[in-house]
Structure 1
Amino acid sequence: MTYVPAPTRYDDMEYRTVGHSGLKLPAISLGLWHNFGNDKPLETQREIIHRAFDRGVTHFDLANNYGPPAGSSEVNFGRILKRDFADHRDEMIISSKAGWNMWDGPYGFGGSRKYLVSSLDQSLKRLGVDYVDIFYHHRPDPDTPLEETLYALRDIVASGKALYVGISSYGADLTAEAAELMSDEGCPLLIHQPSYSLVNRWVEEPGDEGESLLQATANHGLGVIAFSPLAQGLLTDRYLDGVPEGSRATQGKSLSEGMLSEENIGMVRRLNDIAQERGQSLAQMAIAWVLREQGNYGEETVTSALIGASSVKQLDANLDALANLEFTEAELQAIDEIAHDAGVNIWAKATESKTATPRELD
């Protein structure tokens, strides 16, 4: 059947301005890291993307290595885009990234100009588009001069292959340095994509220069889009009563069974009690918490929360978090007393190693 977008699609979504730019993103964006590779039916993927767009989700986040296999998420999204959204491309924000291992040899990994330009060219072919709206360097690369990486991003914008550029998983100090360099070049960084959740709050911690990542992005005019706000599924009701068969933890993916310790599960159960008192699921409260106003860094510190979805039902449930983004001081204090680091920030360690592969993040 021919897909016709809902005429009410913009009625209920909240759109937030991205840093010091004119661009706005939906408060919740859809990430295609999982569930959009060749291991999932294409028709299910279509249903999820259709429903997301019908509910005002205009931002779809990809990367060169999303799958499995690597690249297949971009291919599948490109097929859906051509079939169903050819007349709506200008209503969409499509983002992609490069930084992790993508192809054999010395030029398929990291932050070199060679890799970034080549990878984006490949992504554009897979997606079937002339440009992406946002292109990210996916991770810091200590083996490439920062200037080389950033000037490649600058020139990608100048070429018209991306409208904006951003960074992901950079620490506070490196983010500040990168933002200053790009500002001097007349091509400001638009946005930072860090992992951030109730149980992974590294973005709030000061770097060596005393400034946290959230402070650095606020001070330099970058937006923030938080990935893994549900801590790869830990902050859902899925593990409250044990580890179900077929879950991400049993598949050896990014949430390992080791992260489901009795201590972590006990913490999650207590957080779930607060969510129930708020009339939300744990997942909804976790998303709302990431999107909360933070007076220390300015209102709407996080521009958008990046979620995944394996079904329309799951997507709808998570989008319903937008019905209640307000927290009382008592609720925030209670959450702070319960929530602590759960050991799910695997990306911070992975970005320190040139030998890390995408499988460590799948």
Structure 2
Amino acid sequence: MKVKDSFGPRPYKADDTRYNTMQYRRCGNSGILLPLISLGLWHNFGHTNDLETGRSLLRCAFDNGITHFDLANNYGPPYGAAEENFGRIFKEDFQPYRDELLISSKAGWDMWPGPYGNFGSRKYLVASLDQSLKRMGLDYVDIFYHHRPDPDTPLEETMGALHHLVQKGKALYAGISQYPADLTARAAKIMKDLGTPLLIHQPRYNMLDRWVEDGLLGELEKQGMGAIAFSPLEQGILTNKYLNGIPKDSRATKDGRYLKESQITPELLKKVGALNNIAKNRGQSLAQMAIAWLLKDERISTVLVGVSKKEQLLDNLEALKNIKFSESELKEIKSVLG
């Protein structure tokens, strides 16, 4: 698999060989094929980031067969900024390729002040998607997710809102994120009865956070739903960044919202070092092995990566050269993870 590393002039013309090497996997029992790696626009597409860097990342992704771009209403900073910036780049670069792209957004976290800008009410979800479409300059999104469970809104209302948005043509498919197995089963039944089956679930899943193995993956298989794993590198811990301690320019040092220095204990670093040695023996970086480890399970439709540089994205794509694990490798990894 040869990955392409070109930014290219304006106007953008996608690489003619973009589909030659990317591997695609069916999303559950649906008609949708997803690239084994998808690009998330969570951390690096806000107004504090360089727009040209974002454009470069999106072009590089598509030139390498990544057809799925994942957003949410509150990605930034500030909230909405990632969708606004994606909309600008889409208008300039990707409009001719709209039917080759699968674009998703979500709502469920805090977005605007007052009682109607959070969680899972019909009012919030419908208004949020209208705002997202306007920011991105789209007529529809391919997937619209409820971003997290709402403990207070009836599940029938939340799922009914997703069904309504699909029926209105504002989303082609519906999904959920971070729902536990039992709630996933309930949501899937409601949606099936309404006539809009849930396409996909987006859970946090990586070698160090394996909660989905305790029932969720089995439920997704039972329901015929796909899975897109986010945070595959555990906020950078499953890379070579922390092998020798905590760098001064790391996310743990600069931004403690998602990764705190206190999380990076000597015991964790010892575990990461052992995993890194296994990766070396496989001829992979630790990040590449972490992505491959997720994809070894056919129930994982795609892995969602977030990168700040093209070099990181190209390195992630190299993982697809080897997503098979021997029994001895799996046994060794299991002994390290515990």
> In the alignment, which of 101, 125, 150 is matched to residue 92 of structure 1?
101
Q: Which residue of 1 aligns with 2:320?
A: 322
Q: Which residue of 2 aligns with 1:38?
A: 47
Q: Which residue of 2 aligns with 1:276?
A: 280
For 1:255 and 1:239, the matched residues in 2 are separated by: 12
Q: Which residue of 1 aligns with 2:238?
A: 235
> In the alignment, which of 309, 312, 325 is matched to residue 310 of structure 2?
312
Computed over aligned residues only, the root mean square deviation of the Cα atoms, in angstroms, reads: 0.7
Q: Which residue of 2 aligns with 1:359?
A: none
CA deviation profile, 1:312-344 (whole Å, cap 9, x unmatched): 01110011100100000110111011015xxxx
After TM superposition, list the pairs within 5 Å mapping 1:120-269 onto structure 2: 120-205=129-214, 212-251=215-254, 252-269=256-273
For 1:253 and 1:112, the matched residues in 2 are separated by: 26
Note the C-alpha offset of 1:277. 0.2
Query: Match of 2:282, as an amino acid?
Result: R
Query: Match of 1:194, as an amino acid?
Result: P
CA deviation profile, 1:129-158 (whole Å, cap 9, x unmatched): 000000000000011000000000001000
- Give the structure-2-normalised TM-score: 0.96
Note the C-alpha offset of 1:242. 1.1
Note the C-alpha offset of 1:258. 1.3
Q: Which residue of 2 aligns with 1:286?
A: 290
Q: Secondary structure at the match of 1:133?
A: strand
Query: Match of 1:302, as an amino acid?
Result: I
Note the C-alpha offset of 1:259. 1.3
CA deviation profile, 1:106-132 (whole Å, cap 9, x unmatched): 000000000000000000000000000
Q: Which residue of 2 aligns with 1:111?
A: 120
Q: Which residue of 1 aligns with 2:5?
A: none
Note the C-alpha offset of 1:253. 3.1
Q: Secondary structure at the match of 2:245?
A: coil
For 1:184 and 1:70, the matched residues in 2 are separated by: 34
For 1:33 and 1:267, the matched residues in 2 are separated by: 27
Q: Secondary structure at the match of 1:336?
A: helix
> In the alignment, which of 58, 74, 81 is matched to residue 49 of structure 1?
58
Q: Secondary structure at the match of 1:244?
A: coil
For 1:165 and 1:198, the matched residues in 2 are separated by: 27
Identity %: 60
For 2:296 and 2:263, the matched residues in 1 are separated by: 26
Query: Match of 2:42, as an amino acid?
Result: W
- Give the structure-1-normalised TM-score: 0.90
- Structure 1 residue runs of 5 or longer lacking an equivalent are 206-211, 294-299, 341-362
> In the alignment, which of 24, 32, 36 is matched to residue 23 of structure 1?
32
For 1:258 and 1:178, the matched residues in 2 are separated by: 36
Runs of 4+ in 1 over 4 A off after TM superposition: none
CA deviation profile, 1:52-90 (whole Å, cap 9, x unmatched): 000000000000000011100000001000000110011
Q: Secondary structure at the match of 1:29?
A: strand
For 2:51 and 2:32, the matched residues in 1 are separated by: 30
Q: Which residue of 1 aligns with 2:336?
A: 338
For 1:11 and 1:254, the matched residues in 2 are separated by: 36
For 1:204 and 1:307, the matched residues in 2 are separated by: 20
Query: Match of 1:285, as an amino acid?
Result: M
Paired residues, what number?
Answer: 328
